[in-house]
Chain A
């Protein structure tokens, strides 16, 4: 892959039309895409970021979006840090990614002693960019995803892979008034897809702010006339529970990041009858695989045999994907390859064929999806098992109509320990002190034994 064949995001934006009328809308204000295209928030530092491994850690999503446009093709590598990445993970992420520059919009990192050779403050006052004539890079876009131990895994993508599933049948006559919006953080895979769709298409984009109440975001989406809106099923359930869900009238409603059940699909259909609706299947490892548009949960079996650039198969019960959108590898962790020898990624999602349609049954690894946030049972079990009265534990998913799943635990106590409610609360509190909120078991059941396989591993049942 010769770099000269890959157009940078900035170049692709310039190739599109009417940047003067397109905006990135944030809670703090808007930025015109023509400005982002021709100017820079990195001041005179932009040329110094050339060829570097840049940690992009802004609080403001608009600042992050602008920096992505500026840095693609310039930096060797961009590490996309979501707003909620805990500070304790920064040192290991930065070491794995060999970070030698940071772009941020706040002083918190410096205050915590997190630094790199070069620290650039993304400035809201943009100055004309001086683009170096040096050879453009095929920038690695590094996306964080949760790992079994709690430390994020770093997946390597690039712009052509990330945009492989995006059809740019840009028709300026019909696309000119498109306004994208997303409940996601654009530094997560699902949100990044929407950012790129908006940039490569012809529209504007409305982004949320980290601490912005949902009601305020819905009002902003309505004010800017959002036409295409995306989020997880949990994001959508929350939106439908808001009295302000009527503020928006999307033409296109998109769900991804979690398994969409029939209840949320039906609710959206009846709430936004004018909208085209699709639920997309994608993962940070495998990229975007397909979108289901018939309004039914699961996916038609013939998707597997349609041919085309994205190949799908079901093997040992789990869905596997081969496409140009697959991540090229990990920057850390024990395994460095994402795909098998034939290029297929095992998504770990177990599917079952029923009447010409596949339905999702759960995760092979037992990974629990709580409102779009992944929870590895091993991490929670390790926390519970550190409690002095616990011998072993098994963490599993319980279905939930609000967040899709919640975390529950079966706990085997040490001999002679009384099983009382106080101890149950003590273990929950013990977990609260050690784990992110969505990972803490919401119910604990004491059990007389746990099933262990002949090799000594806990036997997990799929949710």
Chain B
């Protein structure tokens, strides 16, 4: 499964568990308006670390908090790419 589809399916799952009602998601949707609250986003990041094997927030050298869903996905994709190159 691609990084993008892993993220999208985990978002659905966490939203369901946390009783968060998701908005219609596009890459331009601000993460905070996705329907996930901070606790749900925190859980999402933890689940993605398990699923993908890394957490870009701690790995990335960029000083950065992603704003839109597209930013968030790219944040993971970029780290995934650089990990592949490194290994």
- Pairing of A with B: yes
| A residues neighboring B (CB under 8 Å) | 214-215, 234, 237-238, 240-243, 245, 263, 266-267, 269-270, 370-371, 398-403, 406, 428, 437-438, 442-443
What residues of A have a CB within 8 angstroms of the CB of B11 in the complex?
none
- Check if A371 sits within 8 Å of B42, measured CB to CB: yes
Report chain B residues within 8 Å CB of A242: 30, 32, 67
| Residues of chain B lying within 8 A (CB to CB) of residue A442 | 42-43, 46
Could you say which of A243, A371, A399 contacts B39, with CB atoms under 8 Å apart? A371
Give A405's nearest chain B residue, CB to CB: B42
Determine the chain B residues whose CB is within 8 A of the CB of A399 once the complex forms: 58
List residues of B whose CB falls within 8 A of some A CB. Answer: 17-18, 30-33, 38-39, 41-43, 45-46, 50, 55, 57-58, 63-68
From A263, A269, A403, contact of B38 by CB (8 A): A403
Nearest CB on B from A401, distance (A): 3
Q: How far is the CA of A178 from the CA of B28 in the complex (A)?
A: 35
**B67 and A402 contact, CB distance less than 8 A:** no
Closest residue of chain A to B64, judged by CB?
Answer: A267
Known: A215-B32, A443-B46, A443-B50. 12 other contacts (CB 8 A): A240-B65, A241-B65, A241-B67, A242-B32, A243-B68, A263-B58, A270-B63, A399-B58, A400-B45, A401-B42, A403-B39, A406-B46
A402 in contact with B32 given A242-B67, A263-B63, A270-B63 (CB within 8 Å): no
B65 touching A237 by the CB < 8 A rule? yes
Q: Is the CB of B55 within 8 A of A214?
A: no
CA gap between A401 and B59 in the complex, in Å: 11
CA A79 – CA B66 in complex, angstroms?
Answer: 40
Chain B residues with Cβ under 8 A from A237's Cβ? 38, 65
Contacts of A215 in B (CB 8 A): 32-33
Q: When chains A and B are docked, how far (Å) is the Cα of A184 from the Cα of B32?
A: 18
Bound-state CA distance A437–B42 (Å) is: 13
B64 close to A214 (CB less than 8 A): no
For B65, the chain A residues whose CB sits under 8 A away are 237, 240-241, 267
Closest to A408 in B: B46
* A238 contacts across to B, CB distance below 8 A: 32, 38
Q: Is the CB of B57 within 8 A of A406?
A: no
Q: Which residue of A lies closest to B18 (CB)?
A: A437
Name the distance in Å between B19's Cβ and chain A's nearest Cβ: 9
Cβ contact of B32, chosen from A214, A401, A403, A406, cutoff 8 A: A214
The answer to whether B67 touches A243, judged by C-beta atoms less than 8 angstroms apart, is yes
Do the beta carbons of B46 and A398 come within 8 Å of each other?
yes
CA distance A400 to B63 in the complex (A): 16
